[in-house]
Amino acid sequence: MGDWTRGWTRVGQTGPTQHYGRVWEAERELQELTIIESWNDDDSWPGINKPLFNGPDAKRFDTKLAKLEDLGYGAFGRVEKVSYGSVCLARKRIPRRRGFTIDDLRKESLTMQKLDHRHVVKLVATYAPRTHELCLLIWPAAVCNLSTLLEDLEYLRMGEGDREDILERLDALDIKDLSAIEQSSEDQLLHSTTKCPLEFLRNTIGCVARALAYCHQNDVRHLDIKPSNILLKADRVYLADFGVSRDVSGQDQTMTEGVPGTERWRAPEFRRRLRQRQGQPFSHGLGLISVSHQSRGPHHYNDKPSQRDLRMT
């Protein structure tokens, strides 16, 4: 089932940890993966190794999913948090694009099928409730993405945004020490041994780098690395949204045609008709710059990290 028993890819100095919380989270993840695996024996479950569910069967299954909240919208569709039994999943609704069939979209999505890594989301089911729409069920459902976290920290720093909503998200990520973002309060001092944003962001860097390396080792190019495609939970980071990814296994070279991805995060060489895999580290590097910028609080984090701090373990 892959390397799912660990949490963070540690980056930087090791500080106080919440060992039991991570153990509980890891056990819960393994339980959910076991439950999902058991669903494949159910004829009504549209697993990725089965023929595509469509028509009445797909519509019937779609109604069995309880929608919990909207998670976001993107160029390739909208994402909702849903529950099926005791497991929460992300349901991504992808409208059929001009010139593509539903089978084309499903084949593109199944690139994720060959990936099994603790920092990569897992595609568990696909179905087409309507002739113009493909639905993907992805595990796990995250608290938020990295882009949202960076915005939340900036809002707190500037004294803007919905503070209660932001603190609720940070609490779900187990980020309680905000002394580097805001002036310290008595409550923050009580949580002085808990995780701070800098520790969380440092670990995020290592997790994404490890996920990207794993994808390359398995001949998959993500092609759209950006903060909104990095999903976060407490002590967990996942690379997501493989909508424009490519499986390049069996190819002598990894240059492909077209210019997919998001322009803001695209490497300069991507503007050519051909591009190389070196563009992905460029996109990841832009993400690191964003993380580095947000990690520097108004009165903390002025020291530059040492080489040892930035070494993945």
Residues at the binding site for ATP are 92
H-state helical runs in the chain: 19-39, 55-64, 102-109, 146-158, 163-172, 186-190, 197-217, 279-295
| Cα–Cα nearest to 238, from 121, 88, 84 | 121
Helix then strand then coil, % of the chain, to nearest 5? 40, 20, 40
Number of Cβ atoms within 10 Å of the Cβ of 103: 12
Alpha-carbon span 70 to 91, nearest angstrom: 10
CA distances (Å), origin 41, targets 29, 37, 44, 47, 74: 20, 8, 9, 9, 33
Alpha-carbon span 119 to 4, nearest angstrom: 9
Structure-token match 């909207």, residue found: 70
